[in-house]
Amino acid sequence: MLSRVLLCLSLLATSMAYASIAQQLIPGARAVGDSPTLTYLFWDIYQATLYAPNGQFDSSRPFILKLHYLRDLEGKEIAKRSIEEIKKQGFKNEAKLSNWLNEMREIFPDVTNGTELYGQRTEQGSSLFFNGNTLIGQIDDPLFTKYFFAIWLSENTSEPAMRKALLNIN
């Protein structure tokens, strides 16, 4: 019984820590929705949570997307996969894609099981990236921000069930 109580308290504290990082970045941030685990073949890759002020998502306002990684991945591979997904959104400007790929390769760290990366859309439309509560980089291009977060939040996403869960759409 005591071990169950301690486990519940640990899970509650962990959940509060995640929320507090989002609230540090955007005061009043609340979870909009949590995704099911993204699985590729038989590997669990990550789980995602979308945060917005008062839990009300608006793509033109600040929000945060948290990715909780469930396996080891190289940052360069995450950047490459992000570009592939941006192309699926219909973006075709090869010069910008190449520039964005280079910027993401510089920003995205290698991750291990348990790594928490946060992407924040700012009021100005920039993208800030955090490893936990440590700023690891930013891209000041509203077009990048639009297409990067569209990977998860656009109607054209390759993961429609994840989008529905993140946006809390029934």
Q: What is the 3-state secondary structure (H, E, C) of 147-161?
A: HHHHHHHCCCCCCHH
Residue 8 pLDDT level (bands cut at 50, 70, 90): very low
Domain region containing 82: 2-167
- State yes or no: pLDDT of 163 exceeds 90: yes
Q: What is the pLDDT of residues 16-73, one digit of tens each?
A: 444 578 888 898 999 999 887 777 777 888 999 999 999 999 999 999 999 999 999 9
For 1, 77, 152, 158, the CA distances from 82, given in Å and listed in that order, are 44, 8, 10, 12
Please give the model's pTM, rounded to 2 decimal places: 0.86
Of 133, 153, 109, 108, nearest to 18 by C-alpha is 133
Q: What is the pLDDT of residues 87-138, one digit of tens each?
A: 998 999 999 999 999 999 999 999 999 999 999 999 999 999 999 999 999 9
Please report, as a single letter, which amino acid is at residue 103: E
Domain count, the chain: 1
Q: Which residues pair with 51 in a beta bridge?
A: 31, 64
User: How far from the centroid of its chain's Cα atoms is residue 11's Cα?
Assistant: 21
| List of residues 6+ apart from 84 with CB closer than 8 A | none
CATH at 147 = 3.50.70.10
